[in-house]
Structure 1
Amino acid sequence: MALFLSIFPIILLIYLMVKRNALPSYVALPWIAAVVLIVQLIFFETDITTISANIVSALISVQTPITVIFGAILFNRFSEKSGVTNTLRKWLGNINANPVAQLMIIGWAFAFMIEGASGFGTPAAIAAPILVGLGFPALRVAMLTLVMNSVPVSFGAVGTPTWFGFGPLNLSDAQILEIGSMTALVHTIAALVIPIMALRMIVSWQEIRKNIVFIYISVFACVVPYLLIAQVNYEFPSLVGGAIGLLISVFVANKGIGLAKVENNLDDNAVSKAEVMKALLPTGMLIFILIITRIKQLPFKAMLTSSTEWFSVQLGSLGHFEVSQSLILSLKSIFGSSIGASYKALYVPAFIPFIITVLLVAPLFAMSFGKTKTVFADSLKQTRNPFLALVGALIMVKLMLVGGDGSMVKIIGKSFAEATGEYWTIFASFLGAVGSFFSGSNTVSNLTFGSVQLSTAELTGLSATLVLALQSVGGAMGNMVCINNIIAVSSVLNIDKQEGVIIKKTIVPMVVYGIIAALCASFVIPLFFNV
């Protein structure tokens, strides 16, 4: 009965989100959180104080990802309203007339960078319309952008799926860095195959062979810096790797290196170099601020993460509220328990760099106060549904972790461990893919199944960091078949009633991705890591 009641909420969640009239994640996840709460109260007889403390902790913890999402959406909306995105569209579509060059620059490198900055479905929504505007068929573009937007996803939105998705597991910084390092290695190896499979959605094998040198220059231009950065940082591998890859891809395409010659039908006067430089300034500023605030050798990181108390106050029975000198807001001893939560207001990548970048560059693009205010208001509205989904996911996960060795998560992990033993690495990535399939988010997938994966790893004697890296890879590859992402890109491109067709095509590269992840876990990762 304990196993049934532990796994029932997850099975119910999957059912609610994939049935004919499926519930969106922002409706289903809060309902499932309520189901877990009832199970904890009635069957596991958890005291109300512990449950209440975990719920309050979840409400504080959710401020971290939701402010990152708000910042990412704000930056994206500002880019649209200010004309930045339109200028980039004209520039990117006018670099080389070769269709493979256009698909790799826009569908791969540009989307790679956008994923690193914004995540949450933004790359497909921006890249897909540019490609359709260049004459590529909408349905095939939808498939290509979904498949391409997988490798960078584990470090999307400034690494949110990695550093926040595994946050409830109380891992050390070194463990999270190792997870990110392993994740990047698996993604890098998958990148040797996945972009080719994505291109095949639109162009022939013959065209791929003719342009194979350029294709791999573009692939390596993104994933080499991405892999190197992931060894020392888990926040901006995709953002910086994508930016470097985009610049190299554009330069190489301009020179025609590795590309078959095609008839030139480009407009040389489409956009000036000055306009391009101006349009790239906000992204450049974003990357610069991120880097200087994350490098330990510079003083800024310490300034933004100081835990030295500024003031504190007892909020009755709710807990002890504390504010540090760097505006870390903490609530400790919630309802007299050992549970606490905090929010790093300046270090979480929200106000710095997204909001501050928008405020600094808005005057440069002649954005009036009224227009800027509208951008902020619209971005706030757009965060409502992700907020509800993340609140539901966090409450669900925190309650499933209650009880130590007798927790719901440990019970599920024990059943998985008994069923698969040391072969769990074959299946781990597919569990992550299931998470993003029904939630539309690698972050939510990691939040939902990270604890199950960790428990399974501990019970089977497998490396916890390896299994969690496979979870993160799975959450990224699941983006290809995620209902939410498919509906989003179909809506942007005005594609009607083709979701089934898209899934039938994108599930093949997703399965290939899972096989690559399993092989990497068995043969590649042990060569570089002590697992």
Structure 2
Amino acid sequence: MSNATDESSFSYICSNNDGDLTCAESCVGLEECQTCACATVAIDAGGPWGQFMDVLFGLLPVIVLVYVTVKKNPWPTTFSLPFAAVMLFFIRLMYYGSDVILTCGAVVLGLHEALSPISIIAGAMLLFETMEATKCMPYMMREMKALTDGHPISECMLIFCFAYMVEGASGFGTPVALGAPMLISTGHPKFESVIVLLIFNTFATVWGAVGTPIWFGFAGLATEEEFLEISYKSAICLAIAAFILVPLTLWMLVPFRVVKKNIIFIFLSLLCVVGPALGISFVSYEFPSLIGGMVGCGLTAILINFRLGLAPLDPEDMPERDPKEIGSVSSHSLVAEYYSAVNSNGLKVPADDGEDMPHKELESDKQENGMNEEPQEAPPILSNEGPSEEGVEANLKIATENDDDPEMTATGGDNNNESEIRPGTTHVNSVEDFVDAALGPRKPFGMAYLRELAGRTFPIWGCVLVLIITRIPQIGIRRYLTLQTPYFEIVFNTYGTFRLSASLVFQLIDILTFPNLNWKYELLYIPFVIPFFVISVATMVIYRKSMTETTPLKVFSVVAQRLYNPLIALLGALALVQLLLKVSTEAPAYILGTILAQWFRQGFVVIAPLLGALGSFFSGSTTVSNLTFGTIQVIAAESIGVSKTSMMALQAVGGSAGNGICLNNIIAACTIVGLNIGEGAILGKTYRAVFSSTTISTIVMLALFIRFK
């Protein structure tokens, strides 16, 4: 048989030298089969109906998934993602004629791969539930407000810098998991906050965790010098896109006139972040986002402190904030305690639509009481000394006992009633007052303040510090967390060979006996146990006396209950991803890419970043997107005479932008903040920023770097 092959159209199977496809029957093991001297036989990797139908069938699950996700009454991802995976499973078997063992093995691999994102989601949720239960989150939000004076632009830009830094330390969608609850905790709506953080996450993901999408995603495709070219070309594109898109993104949270008034501050803050990142990208492809984010956080805090470029806000310019969300993304928060106390005392609580305000009686109640003026309800009364061992519950009892005292129910507007307040107590008229009373008064700047600040912010800086230490290769800890040897193994017959290394790296080798179809889960390296679980438990121990309204067991229980729906969705998503990617030239992703490259020729430059975004849309990883389409981008660049590094940079930028529409990130963010809404509604907002980013990047690349022969 002929060994001549066209890698863009064919894949390979094993044959003995006589041409009989019976070699596998005589093999005595997988290792022998992989190293035998069989002839290589070329077979058509596409379907029987030509290239057009190959593309149509390959994209059909994607088209169906996008349609049912964004239509008026969208399907939940717990159904749509598994449905799309089942569609592609049968398309691979019935149209592409893929190997049955390979196709089934890809599904098994995808189900195992779902463990990584679901464990990261669980870790991030645990961290923030812990921060709420230990009152660290409301403290941080109070300090942020003290720094920003409630200025929404400065709050958003500070969180942008923070998310930029976390991306450089961790990746894995961690910036959205950490940043979205923080933004919501300043009182901004959940829906818009998740959208803003998803868009923020598109400007630094090109480098991911210490450059992983570049050095690992393009491994074997470029040299060290070419990695640097990819790094700085991507940085230039993303820097220009950031100065255009970030102000427009802020418009989702605040009126445009406020953005326009503070545009100097926004540009200065962006310069503090993307400037250092751009400079570092010329000498390193590992640390641009990490260093850029760290420098940006410090310099932006200085800008805020000295009000450089910040315009004072008029009362009518202040965005509407939901008082239920200030300092809260959890049922264990101080805000939840406040509204629970209001309910238990018979006070009126605003409806979910925000039309009613707390402490206001219904009109019918006023008429029954014979009151001409709207009375103020009796607020909880708390000690100025902060929470005691029994917590705020004992103090709330005082308020309940005094509800019938007319002298105690007169609050707010009448200054003459101030003399009626008992010594040592404070009337609590708002959520902010409740939080202040529970936390105690703010300390003046000094050693006591710095100690409290360091302690209460420990969950955040502790996570970032641990992530940096465990991910920078030069420190040397990372390799000990990812060692795959020594190990013990158990052979589960045709299911595969299970291995567990001394570094707790779980592996399943040769799934369903298909060679090199392997799964790996690095328990100590994936951001789950380290740092989220460890830091959460440490925080509970340090601030155990602050957990007056809950217990560690309840915190873990809340996290477990909220993981069910994301788990189902991610099982379907990762099965779909692996069916697209596996394996080599037989993968639908490879078939689609090579055919599109042939069709579009030089116009493929426009398609290149969209392929990158498509890869991130499904996989949730710029690294996986680069692994999937990197080879195709190189082949296309060489065939149409385009700079290889420029095409790979477009792929990386597209993969970074695709994190804004990534279903994994959307599901994770919505789960962590408790937002019950169809993913299609979020996609309908974020896709505009994603396509704008890829368009800007393409124009910049064409203008500065790409040269056609």
Superposed displacement of residue 180, structure 1 = 6.7
Of 271, 279, 288, 1:220 maps to 271
**Higher deviation after alignment, 173-182 or 114-123:** 173-182
Q: Match of 1:30?
A: 82
Q: Match of 2:496?
A: 319
Q: Match of 1:256?
A: 307
1:422 aligns with 2:614: no
Q: Which amino acid aligns with 2:648?
A: T
The 1:187/1:388 distance shift into structure 2, 3 A limit, reads farther
Are 2:496 and 2:509, in contact at CA under 8 Å, matched by a contact in 1?
yes
User: Normalising by the residue count of structure 1, what TM-score does the alignment of the two structures yield?
Assistant: 0.79
Of 494, 517, 523, 1:345 maps to 523
Residues 263-317 of structure 1, C-alpha deviations (whole Å, 9 max, x = no match): 9999999744344332222211111111111222223122212232232232222
Q: Match of 1:443?
A: 620
Q: Which amino acid aligns with 1:513?
A: S
Residues 217-268 of structure 1, C-alpha deviations (whole Å, 9 max, x = no match): 321333345556777566x865664454333322321122333456999999
Are 1:410 and 1:452, in contact at CA under 8 Å, matched by a contact in 2?
yes
Superposed displacement of residue 456, structure 1 = 5.7
Q: Match of 1:376?
A: 556
DSSP 3-state at the match of 2:508? strand
Q: Which runs of 5+ in 1 are unaligned?
A: 133-137
Are 1:27 and 1:389, in contact at CA under 8 Å, matched by a contact in 2?
yes
Are 1:431 and 1:474, in contact at CA under 8 Å, matched by a contact in 2?
no
| Alignment of structure 1 residues 249-398 onto 2, 5 Å | 249-260=300-311, 271-272=442-443, 273-274=449-450, 275-338=452-515, 339-366=517-544, 371-398=551-578
The 1:452/1:24 distance shift into structure 2, 3 A limit, reads farther
Q: Which amino acid aligns with 1:340?
A: N
**Higher deviation after alignment, 31-40 or 145-154:** 145-154
The 1:258/1:343 distance shift into structure 2, 3 A limit, reads same
1:522 aligns with 2:574: no
Are 2:134 and 2:539, in contact at CA under 8 Å, matched by a contact in 1?
no
Q: Match of 2:656?
A: 473
1:73 aligns with 2:251: no
Superposed displacement of residue 475, structure 1 = 0.8
- Alpha-carbon distance between aligned partners in 1 of 2:206 and 2:634, rounded to the nearest angstrom: 27
Q: Match of 2:186?
A: 130
Are 1:74 and 1:375, in contact at CA under 8 Å, matched by a contact in 2?
yes
- Alpha-carbon distance between aligned partners in 2 of 1:167 and 1:24, rounded to the nearest angstrom: 33
- Alpha-carbon distance between aligned partners in 2 of 1:386 and 1:495, rounded to the nearest angstrom: 13
| Alignment of structure 1 residues 41-56 onto 2, 5 Å | 41-56=93-108
| Alignment of structure 1 residues 435-514 onto 2, 5 Å | 443=620, 451=628, 455=632, 458-459=635-636, 461=638, 463=644, 465-478=648-661, 509-514=689-694
Q: Match of 1:412?
A: 592
The 1:255/1:345 distance shift into structure 2, 3 A limit, reads same
- Alpha-carbon distance between aligned partners in 1 of 2:479 and 2:674, rounded to the nearest angstrom: 44
Of 137, 152, 174, 2:201 maps to 152
The 1:228/1:364 distance shift into structure 2, 3 A limit, reads farther
The 1:251/1:328 distance shift into structure 2, 3 A limit, reads same
- Alpha-carbon distance between aligned partners in 1 of 2:214 and 2:624, rounded to the nearest angstrom: 5
- Alpha-carbon distance between aligned partners in 2 of 1:358 and 1:122, rounded to the nearest angstrom: 13
- Alpha-carbon distance between aligned partners in 2 of 1:512 and 1:406, rounded to the nearest angstrom: 32
The 1:12/1:473 distance shift into structure 2, 3 A limit, reads same
Superposed displacement of residue 451, structure 1 = 3.3
Q: CA RMSD in A?
A: 4.6
Q: Which amino acid aligns with 2:57?
A: L
Superposed displacement of residue 443, structure 1 = 0.8
The 1:157/1:227 distance shift into structure 2, 3 A limit, reads closer
DSSP 3-state at the match of 1:329? strand
Residues 336-382 of structure 1, C-alpha deviations (whole Å, 9 max, x = no match): 22121211121222211111111122211226697222222322333
The 1:129/1:162 distance shift into structure 2, 3 A limit, reads same
DSSP 3-state at the match of 2:97? coil
- Alpha-carbon distance between aligned partners in 2 of 1:411 and 1:509, rounded to the nearest angstrom: 28
Superposed displacement of residue 129, structure 1 = 4.8
Residues 110-156 of structure 1, C-alpha deviations (whole Å, 9 max, x = no match): 55567777345653443145154xxxxx6xx9658734642434657
User: Normalising by the residue count of structure 2, what TM-score does the alignment of the two structures yield?
Assistant: 0.61
DSSP 3-state at the match of 2:494? coil
- Alpha-carbon distance between aligned partners in 2 of 1:237 and 1:519, rounded to the nearest angstrom: 23
- Alpha-carbon distance between aligned partners in 2 of 1:286 and 1:490, rounded to the nearest angstrom: 19
- Alpha-carbon distance between aligned partners in 2 of 1:346 and 1:102, rounded to the nearest angstrom: 36
Of 71, 90, 94, 2:142 maps to 90
Q: Which amino acid aligns with 1:394?
A: L
The 1:361/1:398 distance shift into structure 2, 3 A limit, reads same
Q: Which amino acid aligns with 1:146?
A: I
Superposed displacement of residue 40, structure 1 = 2.0
Q: Which runs of 5+ in 2 are unaligned?
A: 1-48, 319-431, 444-448
Superposed displacement of residue 65, structure 1 = 2.4
1:191 aligns with 2:242: yes
Are 1:9 and 1:36, in contact at CA under 8 Å, matched by a contact in 2?
yes
DSSP 3-state at the match of 1:331? strand
Q: Which amino acid aligns with 1:82?
A: T
Are 1:68 and 1:349, in contact at CA under 8 Å, matched by a contact in 2?
yes
- Alpha-carbon distance between aligned partners in 2 of 1:53 and 1:90, rounded to the nearest angstrom: 51
Report the structure, 1 or 2, having the larger helix content.
1
Q: Match of 1:399?
A: 579
DSSP 3-state at the match of 1:191? helix
Are 1:154 and 1:476, in contact at CA under 8 Å, matched by a contact in 2?
no
Q: Which amino acid aligns with 1:314?
A: V
- The number of aligned residues is 511
- Alpha-carbon distance between aligned partners in 2 of 1:60 and 1:515, rounded to the nearest angstrom: 35
The 1:517/1:479 distance shift into structure 2, 3 A limit, reads farther
Superposed displacement of residue 72, structure 1 = 1.8
**Higher deviation after alignment, 238-247 or 408-417:** 238-247
